[in-house]
Amino acid sequence: MNTIKGPAIFLAQFMGDEAPFNSLDSITTWVASLGYKGVQIPSWDSRCIDLQKAAESKTYCDEIVGMLAAKGLQITELSTHLQGQLVAVNPAYDLGFDAFAPDSVKGNPKARTEWAIQQMKYAAKASQNLGLNAHATFSGALMWHTVYPWPQRPAGLVEQGFKELGRRWLPILNTFDECGVDLCYEIHPGEDLHDGVTFEMFLDEVKGHKRANLLYDPSHFVLQALDYKQYIDFYHERIKMFHVKDAEFNPTGKQGVYGGYQSWINRAGRFRSLGDGQVDFKSIFSKLTQYGYDGWAVLEWECCIKDPVQGATEGAPFIASHIIKATEKVFDDFAGSGADEEFNKKILGL
């Protein structure tokens, strides 16, 4: 067993135009003061990092690592959630997802996909230069608009969709493998990889690639009414990252999983600050420790009620209180009789 590292925090939801949220230097001084030991960095935000420069300059990466180390912080992982989304976009979502792309490729889906794939390859090399072994992303989606199909899906649509998804991601996974970094998909509604079954279908298409791994975030499973604890039993060998995010699901006679087009605060399922939702974090931390997870516990704050500063302030001690120091001894060792093959034979009557 291993002791989970933490607490850490994902910076994406906290970046802003005013200090201390407007630069990597100032925001990391703030999170260090709250007790965090690690930061997960959104690679699309130039206030945090220049991704291409990080891929091409080890010196630049060393400077970032050194600046954070002086504050008692480590980089846990980089994130390419927005770029990963653009690796696979159904035309139905072109206009909406163009917002994630630079002006040079907007309105040009082919160029946008090529840009996203290059961004992912930069992320692999940047992670290597930063000394990281895991990376967070989204899979993108070609089939999400058919998740609850009407009219029915044409025969072979899903198989063809996953084949194309695998074709796009396999060269990226190979680049991550060359850099010694696990690519961890956040399993998430809106993505083609949104539960265990879809992850397995994708895994088949990339030939069980050893770098195709998982970012475990129980909040998305609460909102799908999926057993988020048994999920760990099924997929613990592929879980290489962990977002500590809370959620609640309170279906009524008027709405359920789909939320009735309501705002987040009025949905049956909504994200909450740590400790305010329904996620059983004690069981999660126990299971991950039992299975030997040795990565970071990273706060991802998304709450429609609580202020983000309060959420971040409460998050560090919450995570710290759930981290289990893995035992190095068996509790009944005091009653052990040692290892002796001949003695065992006598007990067995051999």
| Helix, strand or coil, per DSSP, at residue 182 | strand
Return the pLDDT at 248.
98
Return the pLDDT at 1.
85
Q: Which amino acid is at 126?
A: A
Domains, the chain:
5-348 (3.20.20.150)
Task: Tally the residues of the chain.
Answer: 350
What's the pLDDT tens digit per position in 41-100? 999 999 999 999 999 999 999 999 999 999 999 999 999 999 999 999 999 999 999 999
Q: Is the pLDDT of residue 339 over 80?
A: no
Mean pLDDT, to the nearest integer, of 323-335?
75
Closest CA to 301 of 250, 245, 344: 245
What's the pLDDT tens digit per position in 129-143? 999 999 999 999 999
Strand partners, 213: 184
Token digits of residue 109: 């889906």
Kindly indicate the confidence band of residue 278, based on its pLDDT and cuts at 50, 70 and 90.
Answer: very high
Percent of the chain with pLDDT over 90: 93
Q: Using DSSP, how many helices (H) and how many strands (E) does the chain show?
A: 13, 10
Chain centroid offset of residue 252 CA: 30
CB 252 within 8 A of CB 266: no
Q: Report the C-alpha gap between 318 and 309 in whole angstroms.
A: 14
Return the pLDDT at 63.
98
Q: Report the C-alpha gap between 227 and 184 in whole angstroms.
A: 20
Q: Is the pLDDT of residue 148 over 90?
A: yes
Average of per-residue pLDDT values in the chain: 96
What's the pLDDT tens digit per position in 183-194? 999 999 999 999
What's the pLDDT tens digit per position in 221-273? 999 999 999 999 999 999 999 999 999 999 999 999 999 999 999 999 999 99
DSSP state, 96? Answer: H
Q: Is the pLDDT of residue 337 over 70?
A: no
Closest CA to 245 of 197, 283, 293, 297: 297
Closest CA to 229 of 304, 282, 178: 282
Return the pLDDT at 333.
64
Return the pLDDT at 332.
62
Q: Is the pLDDT of residue 108 over 90?
A: yes
| Helix, strand or coil, per DSSP, at residue 239 | strand
CB 176 within 8 A of CB 183: yes
Q: Report the C-alpha gap between 87 and 273 in whole angstroms.
A: 30
Kindly indicate the confidence band of residue 178, based on its pLDDT and cuts at 50, 70 and 90.
Answer: very high
Which residue carries 């996974």 as its tokens? 173
Which residue carries 């230097």 as its tokens? 25
User: Which alpha helices (H) appear in the chain, and where do they start and end?
Assistant: 24-33, 51-56, 58-69, 81-85, 94-97, 109-129, 157-178, 196-205, 218-222, 228-235, 281-290, 308-322, 341-348
